Structure 1
Protein backbone atom coordinates (compact mmCIF):
# COMPACT_ATOMS: atom_id res chain seq x y z
CA UNK A 1 0.00 0.00 0.00
CA UNK A 2 1.28 3.44 -0.90
CA UNK A 3 1.91 5.82 1.96
CA UNK A 4 0.48 9.39 1.89
CA UNK A 5 4.02 10.69 1.33
CA UNK A 6 4.52 8.37 -1.65
CA UNK A 7 1.17 9.38 -3.16
CA UNK A 8 1.96 13.07 -2.72
CA UNK A 9 5.43 12.64 -4.18
CA UNK A 10 4.04 10.66 -7.10
CA UNK A 11 1.47 13.39 -7.87
CA UNK A 12 4.14 16.10 -7.76
CA UNK A 13 6.49 14.14 -9.97
CA UNK A 14 3.90 13.15 -12.55
CA UNK A 15 2.91 16.78 -13.00
CA UNK A 16 6.51 17.95 -13.17
CA UNK A 17 7.67 15.20 -15.47
CA UNK A 18 4.76 15.51 -17.87
CA UNK A 19 4.92 19.28 -18.21
CA UNK A 20 7.97 21.09 -16.96
CA UNK A 21 10.75 18.77 -17.98
CA UNK A 22 9.93 17.46 -21.40
CA UNK A 23 12.49 17.34 -24.15
CA UNK A 24 12.39 19.45 -27.27
CA UNK A 25 10.22 18.11 -30.13
CA UNK A 26 13.29 17.02 -32.04
CA UNK A 27 14.15 14.65 -29.22
CA UNK A 28 10.74 12.97 -29.12
CA UNK A 29 9.43 10.52 -31.69
CA UNK A 30 6.07 8.88 -32.16
CA UNK A 31 7.60 5.53 -31.29
CA UNK A 32 10.84 6.06 -29.33
CA UNK A 33 11.41 2.32 -28.93
CA UNK A 34 11.60 1.99 -32.71
CA UNK A 35 14.38 4.57 -32.94
CA UNK A 36 17.66 3.45 -34.50
CA UNK A 37 20.24 2.27 -32.00
CA UNK A 38 22.81 4.71 -33.41
CA UNK A 39 20.57 7.74 -32.78
CA UNK A 40 21.64 9.01 -29.30
CA UNK A 41 18.93 11.66 -29.08
CA UNK A 42 16.22 9.12 -29.79
CA UNK A 43 17.78 6.79 -27.23
CA UNK A 44 17.76 9.60 -24.65
CA UNK A 45 14.08 10.32 -25.35
CA UNK A 46 13.24 6.64 -24.97
CA UNK A 47 15.11 6.42 -21.66
CA UNK A 48 13.44 9.56 -20.35
CA UNK A 49 10.01 8.19 -21.21
CA UNK A 50 10.87 4.90 -19.50
CA UNK A 51 11.90 6.86 -16.41
CA UNK A 52 8.60 8.75 -16.36
CA UNK A 53 6.65 5.51 -16.58
CA UNK A 54 8.70 3.94 -13.78
CA UNK A 55 8.07 6.94 -11.54
CA UNK A 56 4.32 6.64 -12.07
CA UNK A 57 4.57 2.99 -11.01
CA UNK A 58 6.73 3.94 -7.97
CA UNK A 59 9.65 1.92 -9.36
CA UNK A 60 12.16 4.52 -8.28
CA UNK A 61 15.32 2.47 -8.85
CA UNK A 62 14.30 1.82 -12.46
CA UNK A 63 13.40 5.47 -12.94
CA UNK A 64 16.75 6.61 -11.54
CA UNK A 65 18.65 4.30 -13.89
CA UNK A 66 16.66 5.43 -16.93
CA UNK A 67 17.08 9.13 -16.14
CA UNK A 68 20.78 8.58 -15.59
CA UNK A 69 21.18 7.02 -19.03
CA UNK A 70 19.29 9.89 -20.64
CA UNK A 71 21.36 12.49 -18.81
CA UNK A 72 24.62 10.83 -19.84
CA UNK A 73 23.61 11.43 -23.46
CA UNK A 74 22.01 14.87 -23.35
CA UNK A 75 23.26 16.60 -20.17
CA UNK A 76 19.79 18.12 -20.00
CA UNK A 77 19.55 19.77 -16.52
CA UNK A 78 15.87 18.81 -16.29
CA UNK A 79 17.01 15.24 -15.75
CA UNK A 80 19.00 16.32 -12.69
CA UNK A 81 15.74 17.36 -11.07
CA UNK A 82 14.07 14.08 -12.05
CA UNK A 83 16.96 12.06 -10.61
CA UNK A 84 16.87 14.14 -7.44
CA UNK A 85 13.20 13.38 -6.85
CA UNK A 86 13.74 9.67 -7.52
CA UNK A 87 16.59 9.63 -5.00
CA UNK A 88 14.42 11.44 -2.47
CA UNK A 89 11.74 8.77 -2.87
CA UNK A 90 14.42 6.16 -2.15
CA UNK A 91 15.42 8.02 1.07
CA UNK A 92 18.86 8.67 -0.39
CA UNK A 93 18.73 12.25 0.82
CA UNK A 94 22.40 13.29 0.43
CA UNK A 95 22.42 12.25 -3.24
CA UNK A 96 19.02 13.85 -3.79
CA UNK A 97 20.32 17.10 -2.32
CA UNK A 98 23.35 17.02 -4.64
CA UNK A 99 21.15 16.52 -7.72
CA UNK A 100 18.73 19.31 -6.83
CA UNK A 101 21.59 21.70 -6.08
CA UNK A 102 23.19 20.76 -9.41
CA UNK A 103 19.88 21.46 -11.13
CA UNK A 104 19.62 24.80 -9.35
CA UNK A 105 23.11 25.72 -10.59
CA UNK A 106 22.73 24.48 -14.19
CA UNK A 107 19.10 25.07 -15.16
CA UNK A 108 18.13 28.28 -16.99
CA UNK A 109 15.82 30.68 -15.19
CA UNK A 110 12.76 29.81 -17.27
CA UNK A 111 13.17 26.14 -16.38
CA UNK A 112 13.65 26.82 -12.67
CA UNK A 113 10.58 29.06 -12.74
CA UNK A 114 8.52 25.94 -13.35
CA UNK A 115 9.61 24.60 -9.95
CA UNK A 116 8.68 27.42 -7.54
CA UNK A 117 9.18 25.14 -4.52
CA UNK A 118 12.79 24.35 -5.41
CA UNK A 119 14.30 26.43 -2.54
CA UNK A 120 11.92 24.75 -0.09
CA UNK A 121 12.78 21.29 -1.39
CA UNK A 122 16.49 21.98 -1.01
CA UNK A 123 16.02 23.39 2.51
CA UNK A 124 14.00 20.35 3.59
CA UNK A 125 16.62 17.96 2.26
CA UNK A 126 19.38 19.84 4.06
CA UNK A 127 17.62 19.10 7.35
CA UNK A 128 17.75 15.40 6.54
CA UNK A 129 21.46 15.37 5.76
CA UNK A 130 24.36 15.39 8.24
CA UNK A 131 28.04 16.08 7.58
CA UNK A 132 30.49 13.67 9.20
CA UNK A 133 34.28 13.86 9.32
CA UNK A 134 36.24 10.87 10.65
CA UNK A 135 39.79 11.34 11.91
CA UNK A 136 42.23 8.65 13.05
CA UNK A 137 45.90 8.42 14.01
CA UNK A 138 46.70 5.74 11.40
CA UNK A 139 46.96 6.58 7.72
CA UNK A 140 45.30 4.15 5.33
CA UNK A 141 42.85 2.78 7.90
CA UNK A 142 39.63 1.40 6.45
CA UNK A 143 36.50 3.33 7.43
CA UNK A 144 33.07 1.69 7.53
CA UNK A 145 29.84 3.59 8.21
CA UNK A 146 26.54 1.74 8.56
CA UNK A 147 28.17 -1.43 7.19
CA UNK A 148 29.37 0.36 4.05
CA UNK A 149 33.06 0.98 3.31
CA UNK A 150 33.31 4.72 2.68
CA UNK A 151 37.07 5.02 2.15
CA UNK A 152 40.44 5.09 3.87
CA UNK A 153 41.98 7.63 6.20
CA UNK A 154 42.42 10.44 5.70
CA UNK A 155 39.12 10.98 3.90
CA UNK A 156 39.30 13.34 0.94
CA UNK A 157 36.28 15.24 2.25
CA UNK A 158 33.67 14.96 5.01
CA UNK A 159 30.85 12.52 4.35
CA UNK A 160 27.27 13.53 3.58
CA UNK A 161 24.96 11.06 5.31
CA UNK A 162 21.31 10.60 6.18
CA UNK A 163 20.74 12.02 9.66
CA UNK A 164 20.17 9.57 12.51
CA UNK A 165 22.07 6.83 14.37
CA UNK A 166 25.26 5.59 12.71
CA UNK A 167 27.77 2.92 13.67
CA UNK A 168 31.33 3.73 12.63
CA UNK A 169 34.17 1.20 12.41
CA UNK A 170 37.85 1.89 11.75
CA UNK A 171 40.50 -0.81 11.31
CA UNK A 172 44.00 -1.19 9.94
CA UNK A 173 46.46 -4.04 9.56
CA UNK A 174 48.56 -4.49 12.69
CA UNK A 175 46.14 -2.51 14.87
CA UNK A 176 43.11 -3.27 16.99
CA UNK A 177 39.91 -2.09 15.31
CA UNK A 178 37.66 0.47 16.97
CA UNK A 179 33.93 1.08 16.85
CA UNK A 180 31.64 3.92 17.92
CA UNK A 181 27.92 4.65 17.61
CA UNK A 182 26.84 8.26 17.17
CA UNK A 183 23.62 10.12 16.40
CA UNK A 184 24.03 12.45 13.43
CA UNK A 185 21.95 15.61 13.58
CA UNK A 186 20.35 16.84 10.37
CA UNK A 187 21.78 20.08 9.04
CA UNK A 188 24.81 19.83 11.36
CA UNK A 189 28.47 18.80 11.06
CA UNK A 190 30.29 16.44 13.42
CA UNK A 191 33.84 15.14 13.76
CA UNK A 192 34.49 11.69 15.28
CA UNK A 193 38.05 10.78 16.30
CA UNK A 194 39.55 7.31 16.63
CA UNK A 195 42.83 6.25 18.22
CA UNK A 196 44.01 2.85 17.01
CA UNK A 197 46.43 0.80 19.16
CA UNK A 198 49.23 -1.39 17.85
CA UNK A 199 48.87 -5.14 18.34
CA UNK A 200 52.64 -5.36 18.82
CA UNK A 201 52.66 -3.36 22.05
CA UNK A 202 49.13 -3.44 23.49
CA UNK A 203 46.31 -5.82 24.33
CA UNK A 204 42.62 -5.56 25.19
CA UNK A 205 41.44 -5.76 28.80
CA UNK A 206 37.78 -6.39 29.61
CA UNK A 207 36.43 -6.01 33.16
CA UNK A 208 32.97 -7.11 34.26
CA UNK A 209 31.33 -7.13 37.71
CA UNK A 210 28.68 -9.28 39.38
CA UNK A 211 26.76 -6.18 40.51
CA UNK A 212 25.55 -3.27 38.36
CA UNK A 213 27.00 0.24 38.64
CA UNK A 214 30.38 -0.93 39.92
CA UNK A 215 33.29 1.46 39.31
CA UNK A 216 36.41 0.09 37.61
CA UNK A 217 39.95 1.36 38.13
CA UNK A 218 42.98 0.09 36.21
CA UNK A 219 46.39 0.84 37.68
CA UNK A 220 44.68 3.30 40.01
CA UNK A 221 42.99 5.31 37.25
CA UNK A 222 39.17 5.47 37.06
CA UNK A 223 38.00 3.94 33.78
CA UNK A 224 34.22 3.84 34.07
CA UNK A 225 31.31 1.67 35.16
CA UNK A 226 31.53 -2.07 34.48
CA UNK A 227 31.53 -3.60 31.97
CA UNK A 228 34.48 -1.78 30.39
CA UNK A 229 36.87 -2.63 27.57
CA UNK A 230 40.10 -0.78 26.89
CA UNK A 231 43.49 -1.08 25.27
CA UNK A 232 46.41 -1.25 27.70
CA UNK A 233 50.16 -1.79 27.29
CA UNK A 234 51.15 -5.45 27.37
CA UNK A 235 52.07 -6.75 30.83
CA UNK A 236 50.64 -6.86 34.35
CA UNK A 237 47.93 -4.44 35.48
CA UNK A 238 46.19 -3.89 38.81
CA UNK A 239 42.40 -3.96 38.66
CA UNK A 240 40.13 -2.49 41.34
CA UNK A 241 36.33 -2.70 41.37
CA UNK A 242 34.36 -0.62 43.88
CA UNK A 243 30.71 -0.53 44.88
CA UNK A 244 29.18 1.13 47.98
CA UNK A 245 27.29 -2.05 48.96
CA UNK A 246 30.16 -4.51 48.46
CA UNK A 247 33.71 -5.11 49.55
CA UNK A 248 36.43 -3.63 47.34
CA UNK A 249 37.62 -6.16 44.77
CA UNK A 250 41.28 -6.15 43.78
CA UNK A 251 43.28 -8.40 41.49
CA UNK A 252 46.08 -8.39 38.91
CA UNK A 253 45.91 -9.52 35.29
CA UNK A 254 48.54 -10.12 32.62
CA UNK A 255 47.48 -8.77 29.22
CA UNK A 256 49.36 -10.25 26.24
CA UNK A 257 50.47 -8.18 23.25
CA UNK A 258 47.94 -8.50 20.46
CA UNK A 259 45.65 -10.54 22.71
CA UNK A 260 42.72 -10.26 25.08
CA UNK A 261 42.25 -10.66 28.82
CA UNK A 262 38.88 -10.76 30.58
CA UNK A 263 38.34 -10.30 34.32
CA UNK A 264 35.04 -10.79 36.14
CA UNK A 265 34.81 -9.30 39.64
CA UNK A 266 32.67 -11.45 41.96
CA UNK A 267 31.74 -8.82 44.53
CA UNK A 268 31.11 -9.88 48.15
CA UNK A 269 28.54 -8.19 50.37
CA UNK A 270 29.84 -6.19 53.32
CA UNK A 271 29.51 -7.63 56.85
CA UNK A 272 26.41 -6.41 58.70
CA UNK A 273 28.49 -4.90 61.50
CA UNK A 274 30.22 -2.55 59.06
CA UNK A 275 27.00 -0.92 57.88
CA UNK A 276 26.32 2.49 59.35
CA UNK A 277 22.60 1.92 59.68
CA UNK A 278 23.11 -1.17 61.86
CA UNK A 279 25.17 0.72 64.41
CA UNK A 280 22.84 3.70 64.34
CA UNK A 281 19.87 1.46 65.03
CA UNK A 282 21.72 -0.41 67.76
CA UNK A 283 22.67 2.86 69.42
CA UNK A 284 19.06 4.01 69.39
CA UNK A 285 17.89 0.76 71.00
CA UNK A 286 20.63 0.95 73.65
CA UNK A 287 19.70 4.53 74.49
CA UNK A 288 16.05 3.60 74.84
CA UNK A 289 16.94 0.69 77.13
CA UNK A 290 19.01 2.95 79.37
CA UNK A 291 16.12 5.38 79.68
CA UNK A 292 13.75 2.60 80.76
CA UNK A 293 16.25 1.35 83.33
CA UNK A 294 16.67 4.79 84.85
CA UNK A 295 12.92 5.29 85.00
CA UNK A 296 12.36 1.92 86.63
CA UNK A 297 15.04 2.11 89.32
CA UNK A 298 15.16 5.78 90.29
CA UNK A 299 13.14 6.41 93.47
CA UNK A 300 11.32 9.73 93.75
CA UNK A 301 9.70 11.38 96.80
CA UNK A 302 5.86 11.43 96.81
CA UNK A 303 4.21 14.61 95.61
CA UNK A 304 3.11 16.78 98.53
CA UNK A 305 -0.10 18.02 96.89
CA UNK A 306 -1.95 21.30 97.48
CA UNK A 307 -5.38 20.15 98.68
CA UNK A 308 -5.95 20.08 102.43
CA UNK A 309 -7.27 16.87 104.03
CA UNK A 310 -11.04 16.74 104.13
CA UNK A 311 -13.61 16.77 101.42
CA UNK A 312 -13.36 17.79 97.80
CA UNK A 313 -16.56 19.33 96.57
CA UNK A 314 -17.84 20.78 93.31
CA UNK A 315 -20.88 22.68 92.19
CA UNK A 316 -23.79 20.44 91.28
CA UNK A 317 -26.44 21.41 88.81
CA UNK A 318 -28.85 22.08 91.63
CA UNK A 319 -26.61 24.74 93.14
CA UNK A 320 -25.52 22.79 96.25
CA UNK A 321 -22.21 21.16 96.89
CA UNK A 322 -21.95 17.42 96.18
CA UNK A 323 -19.28 15.18 97.70
CA UNK A 324 -17.02 13.67 95.01
CA UNK A 325 -14.30 12.11 97.06
CA UNK A 326 -13.45 11.83 100.72
CA UNK A 327 -10.03 11.20 102.20
Structure 2
Protein backbone atom coordinates (compact mmCIF):
# COMPACT_ATOMS: atom_id res chain seq x y z
CA UNK A 1 0.00 0.00 0.00
CA UNK A 2 1.35 3.45 -0.90
CA UNK A 3 1.86 6.12 1.70
CA UNK A 4 1.53 9.93 1.32
CA UNK A 5 4.67 11.75 0.30
CA UNK A 6 4.79 13.52 3.66
CA UNK A 7 5.12 10.16 5.46
CA UNK A 8 8.17 9.25 3.37
CA UNK A 9 9.98 12.60 3.17
CA UNK A 10 10.18 15.52 5.55
CA UNK A 11 8.60 18.86 4.48
CA UNK A 12 11.92 20.28 3.32
CA UNK A 13 12.87 17.10 1.45
CA UNK A 14 9.44 16.87 -0.16
CA UNK A 15 9.60 20.44 -1.45
CA UNK A 16 13.07 19.87 -2.81
CA UNK A 17 11.96 16.67 -4.53
CA UNK A 18 8.98 18.26 -6.27
CA UNK A 19 11.10 21.21 -7.39
CA UNK A 20 13.85 18.95 -8.68
CA UNK A 21 11.42 16.99 -10.83
CA UNK A 22 10.67 20.10 -12.86
CA UNK A 23 13.97 21.97 -12.60
CA UNK A 24 16.09 19.06 -13.78
CA UNK A 25 13.85 18.23 -16.70
CA UNK A 26 15.72 20.61 -18.99
CA UNK A 27 19.13 19.26 -18.00
CA UNK A 28 17.93 15.71 -18.48
CA UNK A 29 16.34 15.99 -21.90
CA UNK A 30 16.82 19.57 -23.13
CA UNK A 31 14.13 21.78 -24.59
CA UNK A 32 11.89 20.49 -27.33
CA UNK A 33 12.64 23.51 -29.55
CA UNK A 34 16.41 23.13 -29.24
CA UNK A 35 16.27 19.50 -30.24
CA UNK A 36 13.54 19.42 -32.85
CA UNK A 37 15.57 17.07 -35.02
CA UNK A 38 16.30 14.51 -32.26
CA UNK A 39 15.05 10.93 -32.67
CA UNK A 40 11.48 10.14 -31.71
CA UNK A 41 12.47 7.98 -28.71
CA UNK A 42 14.08 10.98 -27.00
CA UNK A 43 10.96 13.06 -27.51
CA UNK A 44 8.80 10.24 -26.18
CA UNK A 45 11.08 9.96 -23.16
CA UNK A 46 10.74 13.70 -22.47
CA UNK A 47 6.96 13.67 -22.78
CA UNK A 48 6.64 10.67 -20.45
CA UNK A 49 9.05 12.30 -17.99
CA UNK A 50 6.98 15.50 -17.92
CA UNK A 51 3.81 13.50 -17.40
CA UNK A 52 5.40 11.53 -14.57
CA UNK A 53 6.51 14.77 -12.88
CA UNK A 54 2.98 16.17 -13.05
CA UNK A 55 1.48 12.99 -11.60
CA UNK A 56 4.07 12.92 -8.82
CA UNK A 57 3.15 16.47 -7.81
CA UNK A 58 -0.44 15.26 -7.51
CA UNK A 59 0.84 12.30 -5.47
CA UNK A 60 -0.58 9.82 -7.99
CA UNK A 61 2.37 7.55 -7.47
CA UNK A 62 1.19 4.49 -9.33
CA UNK A 63 0.47 6.48 -12.48
CA UNK A 64 3.68 8.46 -12.09
CA UNK A 65 5.62 5.20 -11.83
CA UNK A 66 4.12 3.97 -15.10
CA UNK A 67 4.98 7.27 -16.83
CA UNK A 68 8.59 7.18 -15.67
CA UNK A 69 8.80 3.56 -16.82
CA UNK A 70 7.78 4.66 -20.32
CA UNK A 71 10.35 7.42 -20.22
CA UNK A 72 13.09 5.04 -19.13
CA UNK A 73 12.19 2.55 -21.86
CA UNK A 74 12.68 5.22 -24.50
CA UNK A 75 15.79 6.79 -23.01
CA UNK A 76 17.50 5.87 -19.78
CA UNK A 77 18.78 8.62 -17.49
CA UNK A 78 19.97 8.76 -13.89
CA UNK A 79 17.18 11.19 -12.97
CA UNK A 80 14.56 8.89 -14.45
CA UNK A 81 15.94 5.97 -12.46
CA UNK A 82 15.94 8.12 -9.34
CA UNK A 83 12.31 9.11 -9.86
CA UNK A 84 11.36 5.48 -10.41
CA UNK A 85 12.99 4.63 -7.09
CA UNK A 86 11.15 7.43 -5.31
CA UNK A 87 7.78 6.27 -6.67
CA UNK A 88 8.44 2.68 -5.66
CA UNK A 89 9.62 3.80 -2.23
CA UNK A 90 6.39 5.70 -1.64
CA UNK A 91 4.35 2.72 -2.85
CA UNK A 92 6.07 0.45 -0.32
CA UNK A 93 7.99 -1.55 -2.93
CA UNK A 94 11.16 -1.52 -0.87
CA UNK A 95 13.30 -4.06 -2.70
CA UNK A 96 12.38 -2.59 -6.08
CA UNK A 97 13.18 0.91 -4.85
CA UNK A 98 16.52 -0.28 -3.54
CA UNK A 99 17.31 -1.88 -6.90
CA UNK A 100 16.41 1.39 -8.67
CA UNK A 101 18.63 3.41 -6.38
CA UNK A 102 21.50 1.02 -7.02
CA UNK A 103 20.95 1.42 -10.75
CA UNK A 104 20.84 5.19 -10.24
CA UNK A 105 24.29 5.26 -8.66
CA UNK A 106 25.66 2.92 -11.31
CA UNK A 107 24.31 5.13 -14.07
CA UNK A 108 25.67 8.25 -12.36
CA UNK A 109 29.09 6.62 -12.15
CA UNK A 110 29.08 6.13 -15.91
CA UNK A 111 27.45 9.53 -16.64
CA UNK A 112 28.66 11.91 -13.93
CA UNK A 113 26.68 14.88 -15.26
CA UNK A 114 23.26 13.23 -14.91
CA UNK A 115 22.79 13.20 -11.12
CA UNK A 116 23.39 16.16 -8.77
CA UNK A 117 25.55 15.43 -5.74
CA UNK A 118 22.69 16.18 -3.34
CA UNK A 119 20.52 13.49 -4.91
CA UNK A 120 23.42 11.05 -4.91
CA UNK A 121 23.78 11.55 -1.16
CA UNK A 122 20.04 10.98 -0.71
CA UNK A 123 20.28 7.73 -2.66
CA UNK A 124 23.13 6.52 -0.45
CA UNK A 125 21.05 7.33 2.61
CA UNK A 126 18.13 5.27 1.29
CA UNK A 127 20.40 2.31 0.64
CA UNK A 128 21.78 2.50 4.17
CA UNK A 129 18.25 2.55 5.55
CA UNK A 130 17.20 -0.49 3.50
CA UNK A 131 20.20 -2.45 4.74
CA UNK A 132 18.80 -2.01 8.23
CA UNK A 133 15.05 -2.37 7.65
CA UNK A 134 14.60 -5.01 4.95
CA UNK A 135 13.75 -8.45 6.39
CA UNK A 136 16.52 -11.01 5.92
CA UNK A 137 15.51 -14.67 6.06
CA UNK A 138 18.06 -17.48 6.01
CA UNK A 139 16.18 -20.07 3.99
CA UNK A 140 17.04 -23.76 3.63
CA UNK A 141 15.21 -25.90 1.07
CA UNK A 142 15.06 -29.67 0.59
CA UNK A 143 15.66 -31.22 -1.82
CA UNK A 144 18.65 -29.03 -2.58
CA UNK A 145 17.69 -28.51 -6.23
CA UNK A 146 14.11 -27.42 -5.59
CA UNK A 147 12.98 -24.32 -7.49
CA UNK A 148 11.69 -21.36 -5.46
CA UNK A 149 9.51 -18.34 -6.09
CA UNK A 150 8.18 -15.65 -3.77
CA UNK A 151 4.89 -13.95 -4.61
CA UNK A 152 4.94 -15.55 -8.04
CA UNK A 153 8.37 -14.20 -8.98
CA UNK A 154 11.78 -15.88 -9.18
CA UNK A 155 14.57 -14.47 -7.05
CA UNK A 156 17.51 -12.36 -8.14
CA UNK A 157 21.02 -13.19 -6.96
CA UNK A 158 22.73 -10.08 -5.59
CA UNK A 159 25.69 -11.71 -3.79
CA UNK A 160 27.49 -15.05 -3.75
CA UNK A 161 30.27 -14.39 -1.22
CA UNK A 162 30.75 -14.70 1.67
CA UNK A 163 27.19 -16.05 1.59
CA UNK A 164 24.55 -16.38 -1.11
CA UNK A 165 22.04 -13.52 -0.97
CA UNK A 166 18.89 -13.42 -3.09
CA UNK A 167 16.44 -10.58 -3.55
CA UNK A 168 12.67 -11.03 -3.75
CA UNK A 169 10.03 -8.97 -5.55
CA UNK A 170 12.34 -7.38 -8.13
CA UNK A 171 12.13 -9.88 -11.00
CA UNK A 172 9.22 -10.04 -13.47
CA UNK A 173 6.48 -12.52 -12.67
CA UNK A 174 7.45 -15.99 -13.80
CA UNK A 175 8.13 -19.58 -12.91
CA UNK A 176 10.16 -20.65 -9.92
CA UNK A 177 13.91 -21.00 -10.42
CA UNK A 178 16.56 -23.09 -8.71
CA UNK A 179 18.69 -21.08 -6.24
CA UNK A 180 22.49 -21.31 -6.42
CA UNK A 181 22.67 -23.03 -3.01
CA UNK A 182 20.49 -25.09 -0.67
CA UNK A 183 20.85 -22.47 2.08
CA UNK A 184 20.76 -18.77 1.27
CA UNK A 185 19.63 -15.40 2.57
CA UNK A 186 16.52 -13.80 1.07
CA UNK A 187 15.91 -10.06 1.39
CA UNK A 188 12.34 -8.97 0.79
CA UNK A 189 9.76 -6.28 1.42
CA UNK A 190 8.32 -6.14 4.94
CA UNK A 191 4.91 -7.78 5.13
CA UNK A 192 3.20 -11.01 4.08
CA UNK A 193 4.62 -13.23 1.35
CA UNK A 194 3.79 -16.54 -0.33
CA UNK A 195 6.81 -18.81 -0.74
CA UNK A 196 6.49 -21.70 -3.19
CA UNK A 197 8.76 -24.67 -3.89
CA UNK A 198 8.43 -26.98 -6.88
CA UNK A 199 10.37 -30.07 -7.90
CA UNK A 200 9.52 -33.00 -10.13
CA UNK A 201 8.57 -36.02 -8.08
CA UNK A 202 7.72 -33.97 -4.98
CA UNK A 203 4.52 -32.41 -3.70
CA UNK A 204 4.47 -28.63 -4.27
CA UNK A 205 4.95 -26.47 -1.19
CA UNK A 206 3.21 -23.11 -0.72
CA UNK A 207 3.45 -21.30 2.61
CA UNK A 208 2.50 -17.80 3.69
CA UNK A 209 4.74 -15.98 6.14
CA UNK A 210 4.87 -12.42 7.45
CA UNK A 211 8.16 -10.65 8.15
CA UNK A 212 8.29 -7.24 9.88
CA UNK A 213 10.86 -4.52 9.24
CA UNK A 214 14.31 -5.48 10.47
CA UNK A 215 13.44 -9.18 10.78
CA UNK A 216 16.38 -11.57 11.05
CA UNK A 217 15.61 -15.28 11.25
CA UNK A 218 15.76 -18.70 9.61
CA UNK A 219 13.21 -20.88 7.84
CA UNK A 220 13.48 -24.47 6.57
CA UNK A 221 11.13 -25.80 3.90
CA UNK A 222 11.17 -29.53 3.08
CA UNK A 223 9.17 -31.16 0.31
CA UNK A 224 7.53 -34.59 0.58
CA UNK A 225 8.53 -37.00 -2.16
CA UNK A 226 5.79 -38.55 -4.28
CA UNK A 227 5.65 -42.34 -4.75
CA UNK A 228 6.79 -43.90 -8.00
CA UNK A 229 4.36 -45.95 -10.08
CA UNK A 230 5.18 -49.04 -12.12
CA UNK A 231 2.70 -50.64 -14.51
CA UNK A 232 3.62 -54.30 -14.99
CA UNK A 233 2.13 -56.25 -17.90
CA UNK A 234 2.90 -59.59 -19.50
CA UNK A 235 2.24 -61.45 -22.73
CA UNK A 236 0.92 -64.37 -20.67
CA UNK A 237 -2.40 -64.26 -18.82
CA UNK A 238 -2.41 -64.72 -15.05
CA UNK A 239 1.32 -64.21 -14.70
CA UNK A 240 2.20 -63.50 -11.08
CA UNK A 241 4.05 -60.30 -10.15
CA UNK A 242 6.35 -60.26 -7.15
CA UNK A 243 8.15 -57.21 -5.71
CA UNK A 244 11.09 -57.83 -3.39
CA UNK A 245 9.83 -61.37 -2.84
CA UNK A 246 6.22 -60.39 -2.05
CA UNK A 247 3.35 -61.25 -4.40
CA UNK A 248 1.44 -58.13 -5.42
CA UNK A 249 -1.06 -59.60 -7.89
CA UNK A 250 -1.34 -60.80 -11.46
CA UNK A 251 -0.30 -58.81 -14.51
CA UNK A 252 -1.40 -56.31 -15.58
CA UNK A 253 -1.04 -54.48 -12.27
CA UNK A 254 -0.08 -50.96 -11.10
CA UNK A 255 2.44 -50.83 -8.27
CA UNK A 256 3.00 -47.71 -6.16
CA UNK A 257 6.16 -47.60 -4.07
CA UNK A 258 8.37 -45.01 -2.33
CA UNK A 259 11.58 -44.09 -4.16
CA UNK A 260 14.27 -46.75 -3.88
CA UNK A 261 15.69 -49.95 -5.33
CA UNK A 262 13.35 -52.86 -6.11
CA UNK A 263 13.43 -56.33 -7.69
CA UNK A 264 10.39 -57.18 -9.80
CA UNK A 265 9.75 -60.82 -10.77
CA UNK A 266 7.10 -61.99 -13.23
CA UNK A 267 6.48 -65.73 -13.50
CA UNK A 268 3.99 -68.48 -14.26
CA UNK A 269 4.34 -72.24 -14.16
CA UNK A 270 5.53 -73.60 -17.47
CA UNK A 271 7.29 -70.36 -18.47
CA UNK A 272 10.75 -68.98 -17.92
CA UNK A 273 10.46 -66.24 -15.21
CA UNK A 274 11.54 -62.66 -15.89
CA UNK A 275 13.55 -60.69 -13.31
CA UNK A 276 14.11 -56.92 -13.32
CA UNK A 277 16.11 -54.64 -10.99
CA UNK A 278 14.71 -51.09 -10.84
CA UNK A 279 15.73 -47.80 -9.21
CA UNK A 280 12.55 -45.79 -8.73
CA UNK A 281 12.77 -42.00 -8.64
CA UNK A 282 10.26 -39.82 -6.76
CA UNK A 283 7.05 -39.38 -8.71
CA UNK A 284 8.35 -41.28 -11.73
CA UNK A 285 6.11 -43.53 -13.82
CA UNK A 286 7.46 -46.70 -15.44
CA UNK A 287 6.04 -49.35 -17.73
CA UNK A 288 7.45 -52.85 -17.47
CA UNK A 289 6.54 -55.41 -20.14
CA UNK A 290 7.53 -58.94 -19.20
CA UNK A 291 7.77 -61.33 -22.14
CA UNK A 292 7.53 -64.86 -20.80
CA UNK A 293 8.76 -67.72 -22.97
CA UNK A 294 7.58 -71.31 -22.77
CA UNK A 295 9.91 -73.33 -20.61
CA UNK A 296 11.76 -76.06 -22.53
CA UNK A 297 12.18 -79.01 -20.11
CA UNK A 298 15.32 -81.16 -20.69
CA UNK A 299 14.75 -84.84 -21.58
CA UNK A 300 16.06 -86.09 -18.27
CA UNK A 301 13.48 -83.96 -16.42
CA UNK A 302 10.38 -85.41 -18.11
CA UNK A 303 8.39 -88.03 -16.13
CA UNK A 304 7.99 -90.48 -18.99
CA UNK A 305 11.75 -90.52 -19.46
CA UNK A 306 12.29 -91.73 -15.93
CA UNK A 307 9.42 -94.29 -16.17
CA UNK A 308 10.96 -95.85 -19.31
CA UNK A 309 14.40 -95.84 -17.80
CA UNK A 310 13.13 -97.64 -14.70
CA UNK A 311 11.48 -100.32 -16.84
CA UNK A 312 14.69 -100.86 -18.81
CA UNK A 313 16.74 -101.14 -15.66
CA UNK A 314 14.27 -103.63 -14.14
CA UNK A 315 14.30 -105.78 -17.30
CA UNK A 316 18.07 -105.87 -17.26
CA UNK A 317 18.05 -107.08 -13.72
CA UNK A 318 15.70 -109.96 -14.64
CA UNK A 319 17.72 -110.99 -17.66
CA UNK A 320 20.95 -110.91 -15.73
CA UNK A 321 19.46 -112.90 -12.92
CA UNK A 322 18.10 -115.56 -15.27
CA UNK A 323 21.39 -115.89 -17.07
CA UNK A 324 23.53 -116.16 -13.98
CA UNK A 325 21.25 -118.15 -11.66
CA UNK A 326 22.95 -121.55 -10.63
CA UNK A 327 21.25 -124.92 -11.29
CA UNK A 328 19.48 -125.95 -8.08
CA UNK A 329 20.39 -129.28 -6.39
CA UNK A 330 17.57 -131.89 -6.05
CA UNK A 331 16.03 -131.99 -2.61
CA UNK A 332 17.10 -134.88 -0.38
CA UNK A 333 14.93 -138.00 -0.18
CA UNK A 334 12.48 -138.08 2.58
CA UNK A 335 13.74 -140.61 5.09
CA UNK A 336 10.45 -140.96 6.72
CA UNK A 337 9.90 -141.00 10.42
CA UNK A 338 12.84 -143.25 11.19
CA UNK A 339 15.46 -140.75 9.93
CA UNK A 340 17.00 -143.37 7.79
CA UNK A 341 17.72 -143.28 4.18
CA UNK A 342 17.71 -146.57 2.06
CA UNK A 343 20.31 -146.78 -0.63
CA UNK A 344 22.13 -149.37 -2.81
CA UNK A 345 25.26 -151.07 -1.95
- Identify the structure with bigger relative contact order (alpha carbons < 8 Å, sequence gap 6+): 2
- Structure with greater Cα Rg: 2
Provide the TM-score with structure 2 as the length reference.
0.47
